[in-house]
Structure 1
């Protein structure tokens, strides 16, 4: 690298010196030529004045030679050989009349000489060329005199210019040598100044020289630094690519979380917020800008206070908040400080994990209510059984009539317990299933006829008539036992809560990809404010009447879960005092 810089400076010094020398030479040459031309013009004027009274025939070679000597002595007392003026007199036709060198008789016609032609045309003419007579480089100046009708030509040698040129060349060589020496010193100085930082960089970050040679790199510091920078660029690009991939993976994980995540700095400005958090607080993800205060985006005092306490106290906080926008929701918050990678003394912000536990709380309430209802439903028959057993033990067993009556009651209550337990187990089994795998195609009409036969006696005792309006060719692909249980619960309810002389009508038809089943009765109906809850476990419109009829409060809940097991649904349309219409939709 240093050799390159020194060589470059030397070449530059030579070029600059050569240009300066050439410019100086051209300037001196042009200046001297102009001075000589000016001097020759003055001499021509002087000679013309001296010959103005003479006839052309009286002017000969000797006369011009004497004039040349006189003129040169008047202008330059130190005249040297080769510096004399040559004076030639030429007529307009180009014939030489006289010459100071005494060669007029041997000189040819000069009409084609450039200076003569120019003098005839413009009065003054000049030219520089090598003389055919003397073989010297001369400058010619011709002046045409109209009064004498002749051309006076004066020539001077250019040997002085040649001497100047030789002097300039000598000075140029000396200047180039000096410039090269100075440039070498400057180049070495500057190269050390420029290369030292590069050498330090190469020493600190450079790759081994063998690797450079294998790669075809230059062997100097620039080559090594170039390869090092290229390698570092590739490393940085690879790091950036890995960071982008890592950020993409992190963003994918954060955005696919089923919980909200919000990160703020220690001034409560948003660093990150995922789509679930935006959804929980009713925000549009595109409208949330990073770096703005959290309080401007989410105006929830509890959330902001929890994050402020986490940052100020440098501790983890678990809490719950309630939201009432779009219905009551319960959110569980887990806020923790965010620490820098190098130390943990002071946090740089906080991160809050937000989970919607509304459904969990509802399930917990449902479980609590279910346990309470099951306990109550079991306690009632068990209390009755326990009471009658105590009575029998106290002596009533000795009275055959009373003992038989009590045993019948105990049997009834035991059947109620069995039915209740069976319904609870059945409901638990259905709820634990994600889908029904045991599906077989069967005709719906024969199944409905079986249920009609099973409940015919109960309907007759109630004075209720059963009607089946089902297409014999309607096929349903499902678990036959489950569908039998669904229809049995609906038809049994239709009979129990009907009026004497009423009817229960079962209809079924295909509706697109579903089978639509209706169980319609003309019974007592359901008040409108109870229709939304009748499919809940143990929910009864009239608790006393339901227990008297032997119901467990689980029948309609079982119907709903069986319909959902097949991707369907159930709904009810009822008017109090006029009857109810239960519609079940089952995917075929």
Structure 2
């Protein structure tokens, strides 16, 4: 506020000083001209008055020198310098110079020349060569009794007297201007203070608004248009406050949305540094957001394909899209989209990088493709057999009773296998879509195992395989009894198939902390280590020929895996080639 008052006061003072200086200058010039003219007129009147004492006093120009006596008398009642000069320019008398005889010839003086030329009077203003002072000169013609010009009477007055008067006038004007300036400055200061206070308050409010302090308001201690301006500022502050709250809310919503997107989002500035990154992107890069923000994207991604795509977007300023393979920190397939965002200038361009992890989608597509291929292959064998034997019988083989019976038995076996395969495919499809109802109830694990042994007993006895149950703890789980039997039946059946005659199958039931654990172990052929991770894939067989010959569809373990997971359980496998295989089922215990 003081700064504004000082500025207003300074501007007014400068204007007043300029105006006052102009007034002083023009007033002084006017007064000086007026005084000079007045003094010259006064000197002219005095010269005429003095001249009246000399006109007609001398008979001729030879008697002009006799006028010196009269000049000495006139000197007594006038303070002006009196000089008598003949027509030759010789000074006859000078009231201020005692040795006037030594004065130079005055015929070249301007005022003297005017008289000699016949003018009624002559005037001039110059510095006197004899007195070295600036004087005003007035010359009058001196006439003889006959009216003939016989000489010149000249009066002179020092300009110091005129300048002294001018100085007094100027001093008075300057004093008046100075007093007026002080009085006006005081009034201006008070008015500026009164005006500046509300304006300064409006400025402070506007400054705080520019600094994002939207709670400030104008107090309303203004007047007229200033008060209206303050009210407008208050309305602006309220509008900005509402808008910022809405922006903050939208920003928070957008941040929540970005942070919960399954798509990786990353914003790059014009310097290729990361400004925004969401958790999904951090997971793809396997790095914390604190280590990513502010760093170059090249430090975050080790993918040449993504780097090339980003640089291409910076260069062409166009949206880029490509499917990219990541090999570090883990193998991934991502659908990358790079979107340029224009800034204030062409160089100030940001990028939004969107990475959608489609690794699982591609894996499922491959699994689906493999499933269709394998299912077609598995279905082709029994269908081809049925078609071939049917055509053979129709071609006449049905007349041979022995061949007819043999072919019909094969066709029955193949149709049974085909029926099992179709049923397993439908069952697996339902499990994948969670369309198989599971009723959770109390299930005694020992009873489910013994029921499975009864089902598999005949098949085990054919290979002289011994099945043992070891119950370390009495275990009850929360699950579906029939689905548990189906799981155990598949696992025990596989154990019987892949165990050599005379082998052993052990089922152990126990508690492990708050979980129930069921292990099915055999001493069969085992599974190679590099194939263990694939045994739950559909139609995958470790021993393809033996499994197919045994009547298996290749879908049993896939069905088991889905049944276990739908029952809130977990299945693991350990195996050594030639030593056997152990499957472990882990289910939550029944809470009493």
TM-score, structure 1 normalization: 0.61
Q: 1:177: Cα distance to partner?
A: 9.2
Which digits, 9 at most, give the CA deviation of each residue in 1:434-461, with x for residues without a partner? 9965111132333323222222221221
What is the rounded CA distance, in whole Å, between the counterparts of 1:438 and 1:468 in structure 2? 26
Separation of aligned partners in 2, 1:178 and 1:408 = 132
Decide whether the 8 Å contact of 1:444 with 1:472 is kept in 2.
Answer: no
Does the 8 Å contact 1:310/1:316 carry over to 2? yes
Q: Distance in 2 between matches of 1:189 and 1:556?
A: 94
Look up the match of 1:510: 511
Deviation at 1:319, TM superposition (A): 0.3
Q: Give 2:244's aligned residue.
A: 240
What is the alpha-carbon root mean square deviation over aligned residues? 3.9
Distance 1:188 1:334, change over 3 A: same
After TM superposition, give the deviation of residue 495 of structure 1 in Å.
Answer: 1.6
Of the three residues 304, 329, 346, the one matched with 2:332 is 329
- Structural mapping, 1:559-578, within 5 Å: 559-578=560-579
Tell me, yes or no, if the aligned pair for 1:217 and 1:224 is still in contact at 8 Å: no
What are the equivalent positions in structure 2 for 1:146-545 lying under 5 Å apart? 180=183, 183-184=186-187, 218-266=222-270, 268-290=272-294, 293-339=296-342, 348-433=349-434, 437-470=438-471, 474-545=475-546
Q: Is the 8 A contact 1:263 1:270 kept in 2?
A: yes
Q: How many residues align?
A: 407
How far did residue 401 of structure 1 move?
0.9
| Offset, 1:218 | 4.4
SS at match of 1:390: helix
Say if 1:178 and 1:468 are closer, same or farther in 2 by CA, change over 3 A. closer
Cα 1:533–1:300, aligned 2, differ >3 Å: closer, same or farther?
closer
CA contact (8 A) 1:436 1:566 kept: no
Distance in 1, matches of 2:462 and 2:389, equals 29
Hey, what's the Cα distance between the residues in 2 that align with 1:474 and 1:195? 85
Cα contact 2:326–2:334 (8 A) shared by 1: yes
Q: Is the 8 A contact 1:468 1:506 kept in 2?
A: yes
Moved more, 292-301 or 548-557: 292-301
Mapped partners of 2:441, 2:429: distance in 1: 23
| Match of residue 67 from structure 1 | none
Q: 1:497 to 1:437 in 2, by over 3 A?
A: closer
Question: What displacement does 1:531 show?
Answer: 2.2
* 1:35 aligned partner: none
Q: Deviation of residue 471 (structure 1)?
A: 7.1
Q: Deviations over 1:461-517 (max 9, x none)?
A: 121222233479532321111111101111111222222222222221222322211
Q: TM-score, normalised by structure 2?
A: 0.61
Q: 5+ unaligned residues in a row in structure 1: which ranges?
A: 10-174, 203-214
Following TM superposition, by how much is the alpha carbon of 1:544 offset from its aligned partner in structure 2, in angstroms?
0.6
Deviating more after overlay: 186-195 vs 429-438: 186-195
Secondary structure (helix, strand or coil) at the match of 1:304 reads helix
**Equivalent residue of 2:568, what SS?**
coil
- Secondary structure of 2:371 counterpart: helix
- How far off is 1:197 after superposition? 11
Structure 1 residues 281, 528: CA separation in 2 closer, same or farther (over 3 Å shift)?
closer
